[in-house]
Structure 1
């Protein structure tokens, strides 16, 4: 199912916003947030909470070294995106006026190889070509940190990382044999392994929990907006937080609705497989303990892998906004 077909399904749900504040959501066409966005629109959770969510799906390619959704937020063409908090910290440190105001989930991926591959674990990555969307991708950061901590080598030095610059291109590289393994995003892995012949060697979610030492699901991806939108339209940001919780509840409890999502918003995936993975990944809300655990994981990755691997040496104090400010 191509991007235009998915966008048409969303456009059918876009009514006139009227007097409601508009939040422009720009998300990748093959990213898992589209299931949640469709749910909000399908059941009118945005209107229930006093705002209009305008959803547009975009390419997953890089623009100037950053993801398309990041570029749209920086350029003022979006009010809502999701990226991992390490990337958000990197952008904030470099002067981008962005803030993370709500968690999304443990949006990482997995190491995928051909079925006949001899790669069975991280130790087998030496001398291999490993496909990554970009070297600053969270999956590569986690892999480097885990290899350094548990196996005593850095795959950036002892393997060859090959950047694809998009998830679609990464899948092509794996299928064409341009790489020996690929660190693909979790929501795309079912499509690859089901249409085979490929297998997932290691879920990155396991590395997140092991490296962080956290017991509960730790969000890696967060919802971001600009400082100006947060200060000028706080009612829409608060409304999105509430609509998101409603959507998460629906997606956690309504198995039959996932069949509709499969028909309208998926490619070749089994809706039940995606549903189960989504439910394991998603985080409905956060608190100071959550962000403390996120910072602890960051500090550990920084200690093990170093600032060059992360592309940033700290999380700015003002990146996470747990409470939306009241209008002045």
Structure 2
């Protein structure tokens, strides 16, 4: 068989992701080490400008895979759209305050501005509100002023001192910590206090059910390649040195923080505890309602890719 013929028989898996998203570090590792080829497919990474652009490409058939949270997938399944979630990361953000701030607890934020990346239905914000209500009897939404914006804008406003506190995605939080801010509370700690399991991966690869039915080896191959890349990134510091130019780390401290943050977000298993996921969805529905989850008031069946059985 010629090389051209072999290449023609290798299916391409079109993955639409944010151009500068952290998932690119994993996708680059997959391609660099030929983990996709070893599983019989070729990654075709398509950089997009926003999550909504990725969703449009995916739903319109221009992409086979996107990265999203499983709560979005639950909403789609409840609306009759057959989508499957493959765990990618359990990393979540936190609430950051200036290092020299007098704020020592959530109650000290009363009357202040909180910057929130992701909008009023941001999952970390909803969890923090629930945590505040449980532990302090305080509704943070009512007691603070919220400022919503894209992660880089919240990052800049926080560093400029325009905010009493800021909730941002984990990689911006890592950079904020090295730039002179401190973590007031980690969202995973708040989730644990609410009876949620912080080991439940929130982010993952999303594929359509048709792809799983028509080519299960391809979908499971993606899952295997993903975890093989994570294994490399978990143990090999040299791999991170290779990726450094793609990480927008402006200092050694930021580089180390990003590396540690990614590693902390690696799921311990490809299996997802459905009971834990159902508890999280129930809380999110109570706080975000149909605006966040549509008709998905309970966990839909078939949302998670079943791990392959040994042998």
Normalised TM-score (structure 1) = 0.81
169, 189, 200: which one aligns with 1:206: 189
More displaced, 49-58 or 29-38?
A: 29-38
In structure 2, the partner of 1:225 is 207
Per-residue CA shift, 1:133-171, capped at 9, x if unaligned?
Answer: 21111111111111122221222222222221x222222
Structure 2 residue runs without a partner (length 5+): 1-5
Distance 1:30 1:144, change over 3 A: farther
Distance 1:306 1:272, change over 3 A: closer
More displaced, 113-122 or 181-190?
A: 113-122
In structure 1, the partner of 2:73 is 88
64, 82, 91: which one aligns with 1:107: 91
**CA contact 2:270–2:307 (8 Å) conserved in 1:** no
Question: What is the total number of aligned residue pairs between the two structures?
Answer: 298
**CA contact 2:12–2:42 (8 Å) conserved in 1:** yes
The structural deviation recorded for 1:310 is: 4.6
The structural deviation recorded for 1:44 is: 0.5
The separation in 2 between residues aligned to 1:122 and 1:108, in whole angstroms, is: 18
The separation in 2 between residues aligned to 1:248 and 1:127, in whole angstroms, is: 42
The structural deviation recorded for 1:35 is: 1.5
State the secondary structure of the residue aligned to 1:193. helix
**CA contact 1:112–1:198 (8 Å) conserved in 2:** yes
- Alignment of structure 1 residues 25-104 onto 2, 5 Å: 25-60=15-50, 67-100=52-85, 102-104=86-88
The structural deviation recorded for 1:23 is: 1.0
- Alignment of structure 1 residues 172-321 onto 2, 5 Å: 172-194=156-178, 196-214=179-197, 217-268=199-250, 270-283=254-267, 285-287=269-271, 290-302=273-285, 305=287, 307=289, 310-312=292-294, 313-321=297-305
CA RMSD of aligned residues (A): 2.5
More displaced, 103-112 or 90-99?
A: 90-99
**CA contact 1:103–1:284 (8 Å) conserved in 2:** no
The separation in 1 between residues aligned to 2:279 and 2:53, in whole angstroms, is: 28
User: Does residue 158 of the first structure (1) align with residue 143 of the second (2)?
Assistant: yes
Normalised TM-score (structure 2) = 0.85
The separation in 2 between residues aligned to 1:182 and 1:220, in whole angstroms, is: 20
Following TM superposition, where does structure 1 have runs of at least 4 consecutive aligned residues deviating by more than 6 angstroms? Answer: none
State the secondary structure of the residue aligned to 1:31. coil
Distance 1:127 1:95, change over 3 A: farther
